[in-house]
Amino acid sequence: MSDPVRFEVLATDGPARRGLLGTPHGSVPTPAFMPVGTRATVRALDPDDLRQAGTGMVLANTYHLMLRPGDDIVERMGGLHGFMGWDGPLLTDSGGYQVFSLDPRLDDDGVTFRSTYDGSTVRMTPEISVAVQERLGADIAMVLDHLVGLPAPLDRVREALQRTLRWSERAIEAHRRPDQALFGIVQGGVDPELRAESAAATAALGFPGFGIGGLSVGEEAEDRNRAIAATVAELPAGKVRYVMGLGDTEGVLDAVAGGCDLFDCVWPTRLARHGKVLTSAGDFSIRRAEFADDPAPLDESCRCRTCRNHSRAYLRHLLMTGELLVYRLLSIHNLTYTLGVMQGARDAIAAGGFEAFRSGLAASRRRV
């Protein structure tokens, strides 16, 4: 298997680690958060907004892009990088989340979906997923996996684990693009023994990096953290660990404390579209009437474009009158906040003060 990505651990503080993930389109300091650009765009934001917020890497969705506009069109437009005007690192998921979210017909060979756009039948196999992602051209592609909602019977979790391993072997066999890394995905629900079994078997396949899948689907934080710990114990220390779908502040810092490096979630931008503001002093809704004549920025400690230029009163006005600009401005702030937490974690790990940083942020994030 070719290895176009490199990962170097630069500093550790207990299990937490600061590293550098090198890709064909640049390097990403870790721990890092990837904004989700489902349809080759992070909603309401353009590439300049992403860069100014501090984005190092973006995630795009294989399933949606193969349907609209089609992976063949994306390929002709210069791949995802050229198509969306983003020259930094990109990761594409495999379509596996749709196994969970769209209730498809599932068999050992693959899955059959109904298109969310026109209702047509769509087939996805490990080989098709790899071929689509090679045409999309992201720096990192993910194997097709089978995840289940939690809680779930252990026999169902084990079945998904074993199917994911079989699909992983087929994905490795199908993968050809030398400038794109293929990452494996660990399953096993929240059962530590199944997680350890899946992680050890997935590691043995020799992937250059690993997704920790099947979490952030309804489990308790304590169960998730135990599952992550069991997984990390079986993965190579010198390869990147990516917790898929995790994006809330407390959950991400728990995973960083457990030795994980990469995260993605729609959380910051989705909350922004509903008027929810993330800050270092706690989260709040800008809809609240008390902000109608508040001249303060969203967060006094934030230096994003939104906080430098606009008041809470103005942003509430935009939201309450349905002005589209508010989605961009709140998304810029929430993403800047989230990426700032990652920068703070990296700095704290390098200085040997991660736990103090984590506990201090938790104390300051009172609910307001």
Tokens of 14: 């207990």
Residue type, 48: D
Residue type, 341: V
In terms of Cα–Cα distance, which of 91, 64, 92, 71 is closest to 135? 71
- Per-position DSSP letters for 157-183, written without gaps between them: HHHHHHHHHHHHHHHHHH---TTSEEE
Tokens 């490096």 sit on residue: 261
d(CA 17, CA 24): 23
d(CA 368, CA 366): 6
Beta bridge partners of 106: 111
State the alpha helices, DSSP H only, in 103-149: 126-136
- Per-position DSSP letters for 57-115, written without gaps between them: -EEE-HHHHHHTT-HHHHHHTTHHHHHHT--S-EEE--STHHHHHS--EE-SS-EEEE-
**Neighbouring C-beta atoms of residue 322, cutoff 10 Å:** 7
d(CA 34, CA 342): 11
Residue type, 265: C
Angle at the Cα of 85 from the Cα atoms of 81 and 90, rounded to 5 degrees: 35
Question: Residue 12: is it exposed, middle or buried by C-beta count within 10 angstroms (0-12/13-18/19+)?
Answer: middle
- Per-position DSSP letters for 287-325, written without gaps between them: TSGGGTT--S-S-TT--SHHHHH--HHHHHHHHHTT-TH
- Cα torsion for 29, 340, 228, 210, to the nearest 10°? -30
Active site residues: 93, 264
d(CA 217, CA 63): 19
